[in-house]
Structure 1
């Protein structure tokens, strides 16, 4: 009797496993890159225009067709812009306002978010809903009453109207920050809090030693948002700051524009110098920024 056996696959030559769907994946990845490039070009175009204008003479900026490469490079625009106005004083004022606002916003908004997410008390959800309703209130509605309040307090032409609201969670646009931090705090397992309470920890200790260290990405996001909003704020300093010594960088940029003549070269150079710290801050903290936005709202 003859026994039929299956051929040994290891001895079969010339047979290769079927290739996976690599080609469609490559095409799909290429399409994604092309779509991102198409979205990045119009986004970067204003910045490229700003840089090339900062290195040109005024009579070269608006020629048709536009020239994208300066000839010659006017590096003196940067030195002239930074010396034409006391930008050193403006920079110091802006940094002080931004640092105080960032510290106040992160501290008070994180405490409020911890209360709304990790503590249990009667009426918590109702109070949070009322707080969120403040997002729908236009800024222009509270503009005049707020100005009158600071005028009665004698705080005009000081940095108090620009910094004190950040130390009250929910004021000065802090409602969104409270919501963002609350959603991130909910992703932290509650078992960590319970274990700390069993060991005798207080809510304040749980907040500082457990929740805050684990929420660094969300804290970085709030820091970036607050810093950029304060750094670029123009309406607030325009309303409350009158003395030129108290002006910020945004008001300093506006001084290059007048009714009769605009120093475009100085204006573009100063604008490029002002936005440079923001770009550097974002690239330095972009990993935490993307992580914080991605993880916010993902529970457990």
Structure 2
């Protein structure tokens, strides 16, 4: 009997039970988490290491991670080449404006699909899903012609208008997120508001939106980051005017060569400056995520995206 109890305790210690995980399970779990963390952190650490290298360190095959000295000139050149203040302003207008527009109009559309009954609702929702599956590259030519006829090419409205109509980058996905979230809310809340004389929009604004903060945060962060990194549609509709940071990286070498003509061609192979420019581009959304990370994780769990 004593021997059997000892075996059971050892098994629980190693493999756990319903209440806690064992040592072996925890070791495997942490091993997977460390591997995944290294997979994502290694490129970021390489970028940080490279952006502080001098040209001599970059060409030295014996130096991989730790430079012999820290060079801040790369950040200065990247700041100048990106035209960082102007490009940052353009990125905030495009990303922030689109994110706010998609949060409001996609939530309104998601509420309509989830709570209102109207003819053709299921057919329209099916078409919405199809629009999410269609690659944007197949629609860029008619979209370009449409905005050209409207006189919106080269302006922010070419990017903001689709978001303000409940579409834009991944707009269909955001409608689906809001729809699924609103479907989980109790019907009694809506019925009570309707009994008090509230109309559909008042129910949406006074009852549904205050409860939808997790979904709002998830959609805002996703929309902000996706518009921040988007280059295909943005490049086609904006052209070369008022380009955001994501497009400024393509013009980095050209701008620096124009500022320093005596170094023509030297920036084409200068990886240190490109790494510094990449760091400046990813820092704003990274800071936004770091600030909202706690609420973002809670929002992902409540909106059901983990499923």
User: Paired residue for 2:250, among 245, 249, 254?
Assistant: 254
Partner of 1:280: 287
Instruction: State the match for 1:3 in structure 2.
Output: none
3-state SS of paired residue (1:213):
helix
User: What do you get for the CA RMSD once the two structures are aligned?
Assistant: 2.3
- Tell whether the 8 Å contact from 2:158 to 2:238 is kept in structure 1 after alignment: no
Matched, 1:267 2:274: yes
**Over alpha carbons, which structure has the higher Rg?**
1
Tell me: CA distance 1:264–1:148, structure 2 relative to 1, closer, same or farther (3 Å): same
Give the structure 1 partner of residue 13 of structure 2. 22
- What's the CA shift for 1:295? 2.4
Q: Is 2:196 the counterpart of 1:199?
A: yes
Q: Distance in 2 between matches of 1:242 and 1:204?
A: 38
Worse-matched range after superposition: 74-83 or 234-243: 234-243
Separation (CA, whole Å) in 2 of partners of 1:197 and 1:78: 58
| TM-score normalised per structure 1 | 0.86
Give the deviation of 1:27 after TM superposition. Answer: 2.2
- Counterpart of 1:149 in structure 2 is 146
Higher helix share: 2
SS at 1:256's partner residue? helix
TM-score normalized by the length of structure 2: 0.85
Choose the corresponding residue for 2:68, options 66, 71, 81.
71
Q: Does 1:55 align with 2:52?
A: yes
Q: Quick check: 1:119 aligned with 2:122?
A: no
Listed as ranges, the matches of 1:1-40 within 5 Å are 21-24=12-15, 25-40=22-37
Pairs within 5 Å for 1:201-240: 201-240=198-237
Q: Distance in 2 between matches of 1:202 and 1:98?
A: 32
Measured after TM superposition, the shift of residue 218 of structure 1 is: 0.9
How far off its partner does 1:287 sit? 2.4
Q: Is the 1:187–1:296 Cα contact (8 Å) retained in structure 2?
A: no
Query: Where does residue 258 of structure 2 map in the other structure?
Result: none
Is 1:161 matched with 2:158? yes
User: Which is worse superposed, 100-109 or 25-34?
Assistant: 25-34
**Matches of 2:137 and 2:81 in 1, distance apart?**
34
Deviation at 1:292, TM superposition (A): 2.4
Runs of 4+ in 1 over 6 A off after TM superposition: none
Which of 94, 104, 107 matches 2:104?
Answer: 107
Query: Where do 1:78-89 residues align within 5 Å?
Result: 78-89=75-86
Per-residue deviation, 1:66: 4.8
Measured in 1, the distance between the counterparts of 2:83 and 2:132 equals 37
Unmatched runs of 5 consecutive residues or more in structure 2? 1-7, 16-21, 255-263
Q: Per-residue deviation at 1:256?
A: 2.2
Q: Distance in 1 between matches of 2:245 and 2:279?
A: 12
